[in-house]
A and B are shown apart, each in its own frame.
Chain A
Amino acid sequence: MPSSRPRRLLALLLSLTLLGAATADARTLRLNITADPAMVDPITFSELIAGDIIANVYEGFTGLDADGNVIPALAERWSAHDDNRGFRFELRKGVKFHSGRELTAADVKWSFEQLLIPGNKGGLNVKYLEAIEGADDVKAGKTTDLVGVKVVDDHTVDVRFTRTEVLFPIYPLYIMDSGIVAEHGADWHTKVSAGTGPFRFVHWKRGQEVRLAAHEGYWGGAPAIDDVAFLVVPSDDTAISMYEAGELDLVYLDVTAGRRMLKDTRFKDELMLVPAAQIQYLGLNQTKYAPFKDRRVREAICIAIDRDGMVAGLYGGAAFPLYGQVTKGVAGYNPDLRPIPYDPERAKALLAEAGYPGGQGLPPVKVTSTAPRKTEIAYYANQLKTALGMPVEVEVVERGTHIKAMNAGEVAFFPWGWTAGYPDGLYFLEDVWYGPSRYNRSRWSNAEFDALIEKARETADEKARYALYHQAEQILLDDWGTCPTTVRMQIAARKPNVHGVALTPFRFLPFAKVRIE
């Protein structure tokens, strides 16, 4: 801080007793988070902000590089068992926990067990363990011993499944220091740091900041910065002002605030713009609106939407058009997909062919979503009305109600999205479009597609698997089972003296390689 500030005068002006001062030195990376994390431990972990913090403190078998490729982390090597129903992981040697203890295979087994034990309230990552032999028994509280995970020696662990589970090595399962709970009790995560990551947890001042400090003994080399301060700044406008004034080194913004920075030429060289690993689609539920049963009607809708216009107008440039259902930067993305044209003339002709010339004869339909998407659905309603004469009304519903209705397959027409939980396209294709999936909210179903997904789930070879994704995705697209719409652009900015920050489709990489000059 410049010493020119008339501190004394101000101090005299206000005789207040305030909370302890928190000033940052040059080697602290300060960035904004829009809210407190819901938790800071990897067991109950279930939301994005917590994920941003935890990813710097804890690691799994694998990690990501700056290009979004999966790279070995705590596992140096792994190989599938001969029957394809398990993996042998060889752990990296010499990996130190923040406590100084060395990572061993016992920590792996223990960490998985902790996630499953019912009293621990395991979060998002529990589902990644469900295929392990004996997981059900631990989940049901019958035992705490996860029999499917066997410690072979200190640095080798075998994991056995009840079915094939080729993606297991890339699941974000964090390994914890098994000594911690015994030493520090149930609320250990606010007292100690139990990971192997480049930073250790220091404190969490609710409403203010979460602070991490460099882990000197990090296997990937000690970080070049001393601290990371995640400052809680709910207002993005305030975050931009703080960034401008040099009170933040790095800022991550939502679309609305991000647009302002995007337009401001001063920030041109400081911006990082990366598509999110999140598909957006239009749900066309054929059982709830009969005209959707006609492929021509579906195609007409999909080509009557002006994706480039949406990107420029609706999102102020902070989005990319989307032509498939795996987003760029996620493994299995198909770069050769044909762009979906904006062709209202052909759309009109298709609709007439289907027996609805100028939209005549189409029963009214509502396009439904939650309040944050109200301008988006207004666009669809207006566009389909003007381009096709389709009688579309908008309907805004409370989020919880909407999620329940979509899950029950009761919503006819809706824009929605799905965010990848692990770096592979199967996450989108299986969760959202596989027939039996609980999140196939528009109830599109195709036997050939389902068969390809089932085959992909058993295909360990990446190239072959991605080819299956492409095939399946093409079936979905050729059938116009949905209209892919746009991908959100993640917008972040870093000060010119900050180097080595990597923004991937999965938000920031851990700050292990960040330098501040």
Chain B
Amino acid sequence: MPPGLIGYAARRVLGLVPVLCVVVVLTFVANQMVPGDPIATMLSDQSGDPALEARLRAEYGLDRPLVEQFLSHVAGILRGDFGLSFRYASVPVIEVISTGLAVSPILACAAMALALPIGVALGTFAALRRNTFADTAVILVLVAGMSIPNFALSAFLVYLLAIRFDLVPVAGWGSIEQAVLPVVVLAVAPMAYIARLTRTYMLEVLQQDYIRTARAKGMRERIVVYRHALRNTLVPLLTTVGIIFGGLLSGTFVVETIFNIPGLGRMAIQAIFARDYPVTMAIVLLFTLFYAGINLLVDLLYGVIDPRIRLGGDGR
């Protein structure tokens, strides 16, 4: 790695620190502002037992001053300890979420792995046939792909492919078959988005002088398109990949719930409905980390591809 790149990477990683600090403070403050007493909810039909209430309050540290609670919260996070779940009394948050940690990132990456090549291929296909019937047909499909909400698409596909034709299971997680529908549903919108961008960038690039030069040299059209045009299209596309990941992560909330996938997205929904704030806070933080991590990776890749960026620091 050239020294310029290391410095660039270090600056980007350091830039994450304030972002995470803000998230930690915000989630803590939000948690304090929510009305109600989590211990009373937890006790429910045992709420008349003062000894039990005192025991739980002490166990959760809710009997201590707010500043102390915040400091131990931060210290806990640094040790990888997110406190105790409200819904599952006395169970550490980390135990509640640990089994789901990898699931949402796997889903998002799989959807991306599906969306990127298909999207780029479709976009290129349409661009090369600009203003033909094929182009219009592709655009129509893309608009549909971007407009249909994923829960509607899920319901339709579950009914058609799982219940009606029994091609794939309705729900679950653990086999390739079970992953088909959720990954496809998640991939549709980003695929359409990528295809539309690819088409636009491609059309732009195809009008550049160097493409005309390449063609004038008598280069074969395949090489012009795939070596010169497509490569230059991929650079701006890379930036959007980071943003698309954000959409994919929020997509997992819906898709994991519908397809009953034990990931952080489904867990977040359950935790929000059950008012399990410690679990919600931890998931928000982890999603932030993951999203920031992907964008960091994109930034670094950008730095590798385009030397102007690492030399000019953040002057993009």
Contacts and interface: CB of A to CB of B under 8 A. Distances in A.
Interface of A: 1-2, 4-7, 10-11, 13-14, 16-23, 35-36, 38-39, 44, 46, 121, 124, 127, 205-208, 231-235, 237-238, 241-242, 244-245, 247, 398-401, 403-404, 407, 418-419, 421, 438-439
Interface in B155-179: 158, 162-163, 166-179
Contact of B266 (A11, A20, A234): A234
Contacts of B88: 36, 38-39
A4 B180 contact: no
Interface string B88-124: 1111000110111000001000100010000000000
Given A400-B41, A404-B47, A407-B47, A14 B168 contact: no
Contacts of B95: 206
Nearest to A50: B88
A121 B90 contact: yes
A375 to B, nearest CB: 17
Interface stretch (B15-23, B30-38, B199-207): B30-38
B176 A10 contact: yes
Contacts of A418: 45
Contact of B163 (A5, A244, A400): A244
A235 B44 CA distance: 23
Contact of A398 (B35, B106, B163, B169): B35
Contact of A241 (B47, B110, B163): B163
Nearest to A439: B48
Contacts of A11: 176
B110 A16 contact: yes
Nearest to A246: B166
Interface in B222-271: 257-260, 262, 266-267, 269-270
Interface string B173-209: 1111111100100000000000000000000000000
Contacts of B25: none
Q: Which 5 A-B pairs give the minimum distances between C-beta atoms? A: A207-B262, A438-B48, A398-B36, A400-B40, A400-B41
B136 interface: no
A280 B258 CA distance: 32
Given A14-B180, A46-B89, A124-B46, A400 B37 contact: yes
A206 B99 contact: yes
Contacts of B173: 18-19, 208
Given A10-B177, A18-B174, A21-B174, A238 B258 contact: yes
Q: Which of A7, A127, A403, A421 counts the most chain B CB atoms within 10 A?
A: A403
B99 A205 contact: yes
B43 interface: yes
Contacts of A244: 163, 170
Interface residues of B, number: 60
A23 B175 CA distance: 9
Contact of B262 (A23, A46, A232): A232
B175 A401 contact: no
A419 B114 CA distance: 49
Contacts of B167: 4-6
Contacts of A407: 47-48
A21 B89 CA distance: 30
B39 interface: yes
B33 to A, nearest CB: 12
B168 A247 contact: no
A7 B169 CA distance: 12
Contacts of A419: 45
A232 B259 CA distance: 12
A401 B166 contact: no
A238 B259 contact: yes
A403 B174 contact: no
Contacts of A438: 48-49
A10 B259 CA distance: 17
B22 to A, nearest CB: 27
Contacts of B114: 14
Contacts of B45: 418-419, 421, 439
A207 B103 CA distance: 11
A14 B115 CA distance: 12
B36 A5 contact: no
Nearest to A22: B174
Nearest to B99: A206
Interface in B39-65: 39-49, 55
A18 B57 CA distance: 39
A10 B180 contact: yes
A5 B100 contact: no
7 contacts: A1-B169, A7-B177, A35-B274, A234-B260, A234-B266, A244-B163, A400-B42
Among A7, A21, A207, A232, residue most surrounded by chain B Cβ atoms (within 10 Å): A207
A190 to B, nearest CB: 11
Contacts of B168: 5, 10
B99 A234 contact: no
Contact of B47 (A6, A23, A234, A403): A403
Contact of A404 (B37, B89, B171, B266): B37
A238 B260 contact: yes
A403 B262 contact: no
A1 B168 CA distance: 10
A421 B177 CA distance: 42
Given A206-B98, A235-B260, A439-B45, 16 more contacts: A14-B179, A14-B180, A18-B175, A19-B173, A19-B174, A21-B174, A21-B175, A121-B55, A206-B95, A206-B96, A208-B174, A241-B158, A241-B170, A245-B166, A419-B45, A438-B49
Contact of B267 (A207, A233, A241): A207
A274 B175 CA distance: 36
A6 B167 CA distance: 7
A39 B275 CA distance: 19
A121 B95 CA distance: 18
Contacts of A404: 37, 40, 47
Contacts of A238: 170-171, 257-260
Nearest to B114: A14
A214 B271 CA distance: 33
A13 B173 CA distance: 17
Contacts of B91: 38-39
A4 B165 CA distance: 10
Contact of B258 (A4, A124, A235, A403): A235
Nearest to A406: B47
Task: Give the interface centre of A10, A237, A421, A439 by most chain B CB atoms within 10 Å.
Answer: A10
Contacts of A7: 176-177
Contacts of B37: 400-401, 404
A250 B259 CA distance: 18
